[in-house]
Chains A and B, each alone.
Chain A
């Protein structure tokens, strides 16, 4: 049973190895540059949340009242009831 064991160890090492290859060869700079380009050109850096029309697309710390669901409106928002 040592053989299957060594095979198993080999498979695990191979898995870790492929992950390291992917991790170290990923074009991180390219990805960051693309993001930076958009931010610099538009001066907008809000993540592109996929939100409904009644949820804010943008927020700052003052209007996050639930950090696990930041897009949710706070309950004291009145524009929900009254037309702007």
Chain B
């Protein structure tokens, strides 16, 4: 490397540190394989965990805006449209403070390959009015309602553009007529997790496109502010009609928790694969240390190094390798997921059968998970080096003479 040696200009550090860096860089070929493999595994593992914890986090953030109960009409085990007349009796139940009729459904495009989610919103309602203020002010709202307009998610907007509908789309209603609706605005990219395939229409228009009757709704959402009333209210609602199903927010929350929980499902499999790979690397490492380090360690011992000195050198060497691969792997995963938006890998989480979703992943660092990855990686790795080194060191180093 450099022709300058420490003889001309001794470094301020200790001789041990000098020698450590020397061994580390001049023998980097020895380390590169194991660093690269560990890097790849750590990168994949942390990418997957970053994506799942980010999605989970975002969903959880919306949880308190979600309705507490959804009441659906069931026929033959399937949900069917509910009559609008169900709404009034619900309002009378003590403890319920907000009842919203929801109108939504999927609209299939082109031989059913792709679909949008059409959602009807009552723009006259003061609440939704206020909520949408950030993207539509008073004048916007007036012009929005003056003709047939829609708000679309980013995915829908891109999809329609690709199919040569940059400004409007003509929906085919179940009655057989075309309904031309203009794209009024695209919903912000940040809402893609939920709104990517969404088309928001005024209530009447949505019903027309979905072919629903005036007095029909898809289902009914309601809020019960007092948690203690939940069971009570659920019982009361269920007693109303025999063909009615109540889905609570608890059920949904539980579903999400299971969904991207790193302790189960694909994550468990991924963890197992990662661990098995680590074990293989470590086994290889162990064997390599055992065969190739023998002479080296024997020589150091013959030159007056104690077992402790040898272990110290190897320990620091290993720690450096572990820390480098961990930091680089995790940082690369962070950039890949939160800066680049996790291309390819994201599809595993969101699916890729319908339109593409270029959602914004909110950076979430779960330090508990990160440190357990570190421990799962670092402890066996260090052991796989130090145990053979120790075993070699404690035998008398007479091989050094041969």
Residues of A that sit less than 8 Å from B by CB: 1-2, 4-5, 8, 12, 15-16, 19, 22-23, 26, 28, 30-53, 55, 57, 59-62, 64, 66-68, 70-71, 78-79, 84
- Could you pull out 18 A-B pairs where Cβ atoms are within 8 angstroms? A1-B25, A5-B24, A15-B328, A19-B331, A32-B62, A36-B65, A38-B191, A39-B66, A40-B128, A42-B121, A43-B100, A44-B102, A45-B65, A49-B350, A55-B351, A55-B353, A61-B258, A68-B264
Residues of B that sit less than 8 Å from A by CB: 1, 11, 13, 17-18, 21-22, 24-26, 55, 58-59, 61-63, 65-67, 77-78, 100, 102, 104, 106, 108, 112-113, 115, 117, 119, 121, 127-128, 131-132, 134-135, 153, 155, 187-198, 200, 221, 247, 251-252, 254-255, 258-259, 261, 264-267, 269, 323-324, 327-328, 331, 334-335, 338-339, 347, 350-357, 359-360, 362-363, 365
Q: A36-B61, A43-B102 are in contact. Are A52 and B193 (CB under 8 A)?
A: no
> From A45, which residue of chain B is reached at the shortest CB distance?
B66
User: What CA separation (Å) do A68 and B270 show in the bound complex?
Assistant: 11
Q: Which residues of B contact A22 (CB under 8 A)?
A: 334, 338-339, 363
Report whether A12 and B362 are in contact in the complex, using a CB–CB cutoff of 8 Å.
Answer: no
Report whether A37 and B191 are in contact in the complex, using a CB–CB cutoff of 8 Å.
Answer: yes
The one of B128, B266, B269, B359 that contacts A41, using a Cβ cutoff of 8 Å: B128
Q: Which residues of B contact A33 (CB under 8 A)?
A: 134, 190
Report whether A60 and B251 are in contact in the complex, using a CB–CB cutoff of 8 Å.
Answer: yes
In whole Å, how far is A35's beta carbon from the nearest beta carbon of chain B?
A: 5
In whole Å, how far is B180's beta carbon from the nearest beta carbon of chain A?
A: 23
Q: Which residues of B contact A51 (CB under 8 A)?
A: 351, 353-354
Q: Which residues of A contact B351 (CB under 8 A)?
A: 49-51, 55, 71
Q: Which residues of A contact B115 (CB under 8 A)?
A: 53, 57
